[in-house]
Amino acid sequence: MPSLKDLAREHTGPALETLRTLVGQPSVAATGEGIAECAALVRRVLEGAGAQVTVRAHDGAAPALVADFAGASDRTLLYYNHYDVQPPEPIDEWTSPPFEPTIREGKMFARGVADNKGDLTTRLAAVRLLQQVHGRLPCRVKFFVEGEEEIGSIHFGDYVRDLAGPLRADACIWEFGQRDVKERLQINLGIKGICYVELEVVATSRDLHSSLGAIVDGAGTQMAWALASLKDPKTGRVLVDGFYDKVRAPSPRELDAARALPFDEAELKHQLGIDRFIGGLTGFDALRQLLFQPTCTVCGIESGYVGKGSKTVLPRRARAKVDFRLVPDQDPQEIAKLVDSHFARLGLRVTVTVLGPERAYRTNLDDPFVSLVAKTARDATSREVTISPTSAGTGPMYDLAHTLGVPIVSIGGGYWGSRSHAPDENIRLADFEETIYMMARVIERFAGLP
């Protein structure tokens, strides 16, 4: 009788065909291109595998889907994925067209093949594999697939509350995971939150001749002061009063886990193109800052004349975008209020508009689901497994974890060269097959099978 691993190999071909169909359908959340079509396609694929599918389409939002696969037990594993992708631009930097999946050198290239349609496909393939092997799934498996991840999952919280019943589960596997440059498999248990704000200063009722700068502070100057006041240049510490009040310090277990992570400082500096981290941090201090400290980053500024040469204008208006990455238990709406008060205290009239609020979340390292996934992944892939208590990035984990009360672990089919969000996005076919087998083993182990 063929082993599960052998059967996984047999399932890889058909799964790749499914993936071809999915990535052949553009679904760019930023422009809305193909979103409805892709949601319908995902629904057909899920139903084709035997799921009960619930589709919700809130006003002005991309549809979200919940797929429910019945199993031998009611113990339920939930997968979170998204069917939307980043824009393909710049198109001319792609070696093959972004929406025409192409296989070369053992890799499949296409927009969304890594982020995140490939992961959706490996998980679905694992379900089909187990259905074939066991006749029916050993436990219940659900999928929650949204279409706005690449634009900040703006309606995610609403959908989760709306679908709290259909989404009920005991544990959740998050959307993605990578193999690092040393081919270790990364497991991630958390994300940072975000408070992304737009700032606006309107200094005068009209643009003025810049000679009036002798007595009138223009918007450009005031915005520079406002932005400069947010963070200490020497230490990188955020200078907004109360900003750190709610910060939950990493637990000793989380620090230990972070310490156990491979961290190649020289390699990271090289990759980022810098020779010094903020505040001169080195070694583990830098990694601790990256994972556990909140941030304040200016993402954009626009004011006055920015063309060639000189224009002597005192600009009436300035706008800026600032990204605060948050850690548990900071509340993005509260942070925005603190920033607002900070400017008021300095006598600066700055309007603060929150664009993307999300809370941070970290799954408890001691949750048995974490060790179950880690051990299963190690056994299934024979890879060294690293467990990161959190990513430096952001995602809507909090909404799901908080509403459903489930532990969340992120693991998947990507690798260090997947080029997510960039031209020539790709996955390795060997990783794809490995991930199908790994996910099948995770479901079996989760269901209590040996």
Partner 1 sequence: MLDRLVRLPSVAAQGQGLPETAALVRELFVDGGGRAEIYSRADGAPVVLAEFAGRSDRTLLFYNHYDVQPAEPLGDWTAPPFQVTVRNGQIMGRGTGDNKGDLVTRLAAIHTLRETAGGLPCRVLFLVEGEEEIGSVNLAAYIHALRDRLHGDACIWEYGDRDPQDRLHVLAGCKGICYVELELEAIPHDLHSSFGAIVNGAATRLAWAVAGLRDAGGRIRIPGFYDAVRPPSAAATAAARRSSFFDEKEFREFVDVRRFIGGLTGDAAADALLFEPTCTVCGFETGYTGSGMKTVLPRRARAKIDFRLVPDQDPEEIVALLRAHLDREGFRDCTITPFSRERAFRTDLADPFVQTVVDAAGAATGRRVALVPTSAGTGPMHVIGGPLRMPILSIGTGYWGSNIHAPDEHIRMADFEETIVMIAHVLEQFAA
Residue 34 CA to residue 242 CA, distance in Å, equals: 44
Q: Which positions from 348 to 377 touch partner 1 by CB under 8 A, shown as an x/- string?
A: -------xx---------------------
Residue 344 CA to residue 363 CA, distance in Å, equals: 37
Kindly tell me which of 18 and 303 has the beta carbon lying closer to partner 1: 303
Angle between helices 117-134 and 35-48 (to 10 degrees): 10
Q: Does 306 bind partner 1 (CB under 8 A)?
A: yes
Residue 142 CA to residue 145 CA, distance in Å, equals: 10
| Stretch in the footprint of partner 1 (CB under 8 A) among 37-45, 97-105, 217-225, 410-418 | 217-225
Q: Of 71-90, which residues contact partner 1 (CB under 8 A)?
A: none
- Which one of residues 90, 165, 233, 252 is an interface residue with partner 1 (CB under 8 A)? 233
- Which one of residues 5, 75, 319, 378 is an interface residue with partner 1 (CB under 8 A)? 319
Q: Does 239 bind partner 1 (CB under 8 A)?
A: no
* DSSP 8-class letter at 274: -
Q: Does 272 bind partner 1 (CB under 8 A)?
A: yes
* DSSP 8-class letter at 184: P
- Nearest-approach distance from CB 407 to partner 1, in angstroms: 23
The tally of CA atoms less than 13 A away on the side-chain side of residue 444 is 21
| Stretch in the footprint of partner 1 (CB under 8 A) among 31-39, 61-69, 243-251, 266-274 | 266-274
Kindly tell me which of 96 and 284 has the beta carbon lying closer to partner 1: 284
DSSP string, 237-272: -B-STTTTTTPPPPPHHHHHHHHHS---HHHHHHHH
| Stretch in the footprint of partner 1 (CB under 8 A) among 90-98, 267-275, 407-415, 442-450 | 267-275
Kindly tell me which of 151 and 429 has the beta carbon lying closer to partner 1: 151
- Which one of residues 1, 205, 252, 382 is an interface residue with partner 1 (CB under 8 A)? 205
Residue 365, exposed/middle/buried by CB under 10 A (0-12, 13-18, 19+)? Answer: middle
| Stretch in the footprint of partner 1 (CB under 8 A) among 17-25, 45-53, 318-326, 362-370 | 318-326
What is the CA angle 315-320-322, rounded to 5? 160
Q: Of 149-178, which residues contact partner 1 (CB under 8 A)?
A: 151-152
Q: Are 118 and 427 in contact (CB under 8 A)?
A: yes
Q: Are 223 and 303 in contact (CB under 8 A)?
A: yes
Total residues in contact with partner 1, by rule CB under 8 A = 74
Sign of CA dihedral 338, 329, 394, 280: positive
| Stretch in the footprint of partner 1 (CB under 8 A) among 56-64, 140-148, 289-297, 361-369 | 289-297
- Nearest-approach distance from CB 236 to partner 1, in angstroms: 7
Kindly tell me which of 5 and 319 has the beta carbon lying closer to partner 1: 319
Residue 421 CA to residue 419 CA, distance in Å, equals: 6
Q: Which of 410, 373, 439 is nearest to 128 (CA)?
A: 439
- Which one of residues 323, 331, 340, 424 is an interface residue with partner 1 (CB under 8 A)? 323
Q: Does 310 bind partner 1 (CB under 8 A)?
A: yes
Q: Does 422 bind partner 1 (CB under 8 A)?
A: no
- List own/partner pairs for 279-283 with CB under 8 A and 24 or more apart: 279/234, 279/235, 279/236, 279/237
Sign of CA dihedral 423, 397, 177, 132: negative
- Which one of residues 49, 87, 305, 365 is an interface residue with partner 1 (CB under 8 A)? 305
Kindly tell me which of 18 and 388 has the beta carbon lying closer to partner 1: 388
Structure tokens at 151: 């634009």
Q: Of 177-196, which residues contact partner 1 (CB under 8 A)?
A: 192, 194, 196
- Nearest-approach distance from CB 231 to partner 1, in angstroms: 7
Question: Residue 437: what are its φ and ψ, rounded to 5°?
Answer: -65, -45
Q: Does 299 bind partner 1 (CB under 8 A)?
A: yes
Kindly tell me which of 186 and 391 has the beta carbon lying closer to partner 1: 391
- Nearest-approach distance from CB 436 to partner 1, in angstroms: 29
Residue 46 CA to residue 65 CA, distance in Å, equals: 10
Q: Which amino acid is at 297?
A: T
